Structure 1
Amino acid sequence: MAAYCYGCQTKVYNGGHLASSSSFPRSSAAPATFGRVYFDAPKPRRFQVLALSVKRSPKRLKYAAPRFTKEDEMLYVEVDPSQSGADSWKLEPVVDLLKQGAVGVVPTDTVYALVCDLRNNSAIERLRRIKNIGPLKPLGILCHSFHDIDTYTTGFPRGDGQGHANLFRYVKQCIPGPYTFILTATKQLPKNCIRYGMADAKYKLRKDVGVRMPDDPICQAILEKMGSPLISTSVKCPKENEWLLDPVIIADTYGPEGLDFIVDGGVRVAEPSTVVDMKVIPPKIIRQGKGPKLHWMVTEDDNESAQS
């Protein structure tokens, strides 16, 4: 937009002066700058940009989660196993606590288990402190489906057409059930819930984990709502090393240690799961428990009889 400056008798365009022929005598020639606009352009400023690059471990970020802050007293939920479908709404607060990083006790098809979210490292550390177990003791995982097992372990042998048995076909017939299968863990499983093998260099990179798929409606309902496996270890008396089967006694024992919740599914029987090592062929029973020995399993006595 143009305006007229009466002081110098020139047209002004947005703060700049445009020389006009009327501002010079007719006898004199117009300067060479006639028709140009002059602006007082500011000098360019120099900016200094400081870039700070912080590299964080992707493995640490993967399972990073805010620490659970306990505000209320321990949550105690009673669920009737025969009415678990109708009582499933009672498990919603339990699932919410687990997702926040809580540590609690749930029933299984054998004994009660101390559990926490597999994806929360701080919860796994709290579980170890509550039960007072060292970092070298392995922890098991409770799974809802074979998809979970295949995600966090190398899975069950499915045969290769070269004489190796398809053990997956046999396993499908006995789980969900009272069995714990020892499998090789994958990188998806947090390191603080697996154990490294022997000190021998041949086995030091070997990682094993016990996998369970309990045949218990309450436990399965919690796993389904969680959408991911739970870290698990059986509940025992700290001093006498015996199974704690009554949820009321469990509350009295582990409540003062910082337990966040208990799901009461009734008093259980002292029958732990049968532990089977699936890394050897044929699979070997390490501990005989509630699950019976099947025809494709062997025991230590069977090996000794074969060698004699």
Structure 2
Amino acid sequence: MQRYGTSNDDDRESAIEAASLTLQRGGLAVIPTDTVYGIACDAFDSSAVKALLRAKGRGREMPPPVLVSAATTLDALAVKVPGYARALVEAFWPGPLTIVCHQQTSLQWDLGETRGTVAVRMPDHDLTREVLERTGPLAVSSANRTGQPAATDADEAERMLGEEVDVLVDDGPAPGGEASTIVDVTGSQGRILRLGALSLERLNEVLEPLGATLTTETEPAEDPAPAEEA
């Protein structure tokens, strides 16, 4: 594993370039995000996705979410995105909001047992988005072994995943330190699958003027595949 710092402009560019090239070649990289550190791979490389899941010690029943560099990419990955979901995206992207949508059926990828859904987020982190602009959408899960707390700095990520990844970008402590809130928007009413950095109250403040609200109630028979997001 190669570890890169970002203490000056030259180091930062070297870190972004190393991570981008590694990901484009099918490798795994630990990168910082605005919430916690994430382990990333090319979302369209099924072998890389399998390696990511192995590194975390989890199975195909927990597919990784996808990070994008621009909100406009959502429509390339998802279909039937309801109006209330677009209102949330406008208010909270880039930021700690992951939305679970119906995925485009034409996508040539294998993220695991997605049940026809994809979890998408646009991070509020310049370095992360610069990597994404060079690589395209990345499958990114929190940098930890499943069952352990998500890494909030590079040392924690290296301790858990250093032997599994090719590159680690150390950009200091994650500014958020709390994982994103995950909202299922595949139904007529949105449902919170995981509360994180965004509270139910903040989300509903955006939706109430539209006559919509989110719920925390679950419908087990219709639950989309779970996601563990950075």
**Under a length normalisation based on structure 2, what TM-score does the superposition of the two structures give?**
0.80
Q: Aligned to 1:173, what secondary structure does the other structure show? A: helix
The residue that corresponds to 2:137 in the other structure is 229
Give the root-mean-square deviation of aligned CA atoms: 2.4
Any conservation in 2 of the 1:98–1:116 contact (CA below 8 Å)? yes
Query: Can you list the C-alpha shifts for 1:250-284, whole angstroms capped at 9, x where unaligned?
Result: 2132122x310111121235411001111123322
- Specify the structure having the higher radius of gyration (Cα): 1
Distance 1:211 1:154, change over 3 A: same
Find the counterpart in structure 2 of residue 267 from structure 1. 173
The 5 Å alignment of 1:55-204 reads: 74-79=1-6, 87-154=12-79, 156-158=81-83, 167-197=85-115
Match of 1:248 among 150, 155, 159: 155
The residue type equivalent to 1:182 in the other structure is: V
Higher mean alpha-carbon deviation, 177-186 vs 131-140, is at 131-140
Asked if 1:212 is matched to 2:121, the reply is yes
Report the CA distance between 1:169 and its aligned residue.
3.7
- Per the alignment, residue 194 of structure 2 pairs with 287
Cα distance in structure 2, aligned partners of 1:194 and 1:84:
37
CA distance in 1, matches of 2:19, 2:80: 29
Larger RCO: 1 or 2 (CA < 8 Å, sep 6+): 2
- Residues 30-69 of structure 1: matches in 2 within 5 Å? none
Query: Per residue, is there more helix in 1 or in 2?
Result: 2
Structure 1 residues 86 and 253, CA, compared in 2 at 3 Å: closer, same or farther? closer
Give 1:208 shift.
Answer: 1.2
CA deviations over 1:82-108 (Å, ceiling 9, x no partner)? x77993343112211111111011111
How far, CA to CA, are the matches of 2:24 and 2:216 in structure 1?
Answer: 41
Superposition pairs of residues 17-28 of structure 1, within 5 angstroms: none
Cα separation, partners in 2 of 1:117 and 1:253, compared to 1, 3 Å: same
User: Which of residues 198, 214, 218 is equivalent to 1:298?
Assistant: 214
Q: 1:200 aligns to what?
A: none
Unmatched 5+ residue regions in structure 1? Answer: 1-73, 159-165, 198-206, 302-308
1:277 corresponds to: 184
- Render the CA deviation track for 1:128-153: whole Å, top value 9, x for unaligned: 11112112212110011133211121
Query: Could you tell me how far 1:222 is from its partner in structure 2?
Result: 0.5
Flag the 1:154–1:248 CA change in 2: closer, same or farther, 3 A.
same
Match of 1:42 in 2: none
In the TM superposition, what whole-angstrom CA distance separates every residue of 1:197-255 from its partner, at most 9, and x where no partner exists?
A: 4xxxxxxxxx11111100011111111122x10011112245x5222222123213212
Q: TM-score, normalised by structure 1?
A: 0.61
| Unaligned 5+ runs, structure 2 | 208-212, 218-230
Deviations 1:116-172 (A, max 9, x none): 0122221111111111211221211001113321112116324xxxxxxx5424421
Q: Which amino acid aligns with 1:209?
A: V
How many residues matched? 208
- Identical aligned residues as a percent: 27
